[in-house]
Amino acid sequence: MNLDNTTSPNQGGCTAKGMLQGQFVICECLFQSWRQHGRTAGHPSKSALPPSISQLLIFELVVADLQRKIREAFEVFDHELNNTVDVREIGTIIRSLGCCPNEGELHDLIAEVEEEEPTGYIRFEKFLPVMTNILVEKRYRPIPEEILLQAFEVLDPTKRGFLSKEELIKYMTEEGEPFSQEEMEEMLSAAIGPESNFIHYRDYITMMVIDEN
Partner 1 sequence: MGSGASTHHHFAFQNAEKAFKAAVLIQRWYRRYMARLEMRRQCTWSIFQSMEYAGQQDQVKLHDFFSYLVDHFTPSSHSERDFLNRMFTEERVPRDSEVEKCSDYESIEVPDNYTGPHLSFPLLPDHATALVEAFRLKQQLHARYVLNLLHETRKHLVQLPNISRVSTCYSEEITVCGDLHGQLDDLIFIFYKNGLPSPERAYVFNGDFVDRGKDSVEILMVLFAFMLVYPKEFHLNRGNHEDHMVNLRYGFTTEVMQKYKTHGKKILQRLQDVFCWLPLATLVDEKVLILHGGVSDMTDLELLSKLDRHKIVSTLRCKTRKEKEKQAEEKGKAKQTSSAGSLSPWFLPQSRSLPSSPLHLSSHKTHKTGRSSSVPSSILLDPRGLSRQARRSVDLELERCRQQAGFPVIKEKEEPWVFNPEADSAAGDLLEPSQEEWRQVVDILWSDPMAQEGCKANTVRGGGCYFGPNVTKRLLQKYDLQLLIRSHECKPEGYEFCHSRKVLTIFSASNYYAVGSNRGAYVKLGPALTPHIVQYQANKATHMLTMRQRISRVEESALRALRGKLFAHSSDLLEEFKKRDNGNTGLITLSDWAAAVESVLHLGLPWRMLRPQLVNSSTGNMLEYKSWLEDLAKEQLSHENIQSSLLETLYRNRSNLETIFRIIDSDHSGFISLDEFRQTWKLFSSHMKMDITDDGICDLARSIDFNKDGHIDINEFLEAVRLVEQSCSEGNASDCPQASNAKGSGSWPPTEDSLVSVTQVAS
Residues that bind partner 1 (CB under 8 A): 65, 68-69, 72-73, 75-77, 79-80, 82, 91-96, 99-103, 142-143, 147-148, 150-152, 154-155, 157, 171-172, 175-179, 183, 186-187, 189-190, 208, 211-212
Give me the least distance between CB of 48 and partner 1, in Å please: 28
- Put residue 196 in one of left, alpha, beta given phi > 0 → left and psi -120 to 50 → alpha: beta
- Put residue 56 in one of left, alpha, beta given phi > 0 → left and psi -120 to 50 → alpha: alpha
The pairing of strands 163-164 and 121-123 is: unpaired
Give me the least distance between CB of 171 and partner 1, in Å please: 5
Label residue 208 exposed, middle or buried (CB < 10 Å: 0-12, 13-18, 19+): middle
CB 122 within 8 A of CB 87: yes
Q: Cβ closer to partner 1: 17 or 68?
A: 68
Q: What is the CA radius of gyration of the chain?
A: 20
- Name the phi and psi angles at 84, rounded to 5: -130, 155
Q: Cβ closer to partner 1: 105 or 125?
A: 105
Q: Cβ closer to partner 1: 47 or 195?
A: 195
Q: Cβ closer to partner 1: 25 or 93?
A: 93
Give me the least distance between CB of 43 and partner 1, in Å please: 15
Give me the least distance between CB of 58 and partner 1, in Å please: 12
Q: Cβ closer to partner 1: 75 or 112?
A: 75
Question: Among 98, 134, 97, 107, which Cα is nearest to 14's?
Answer: 134
Give me the least distance between CB of 35 and partner 1, in Å please: 27
Cα 99 from chain centroid (whole Å): 2
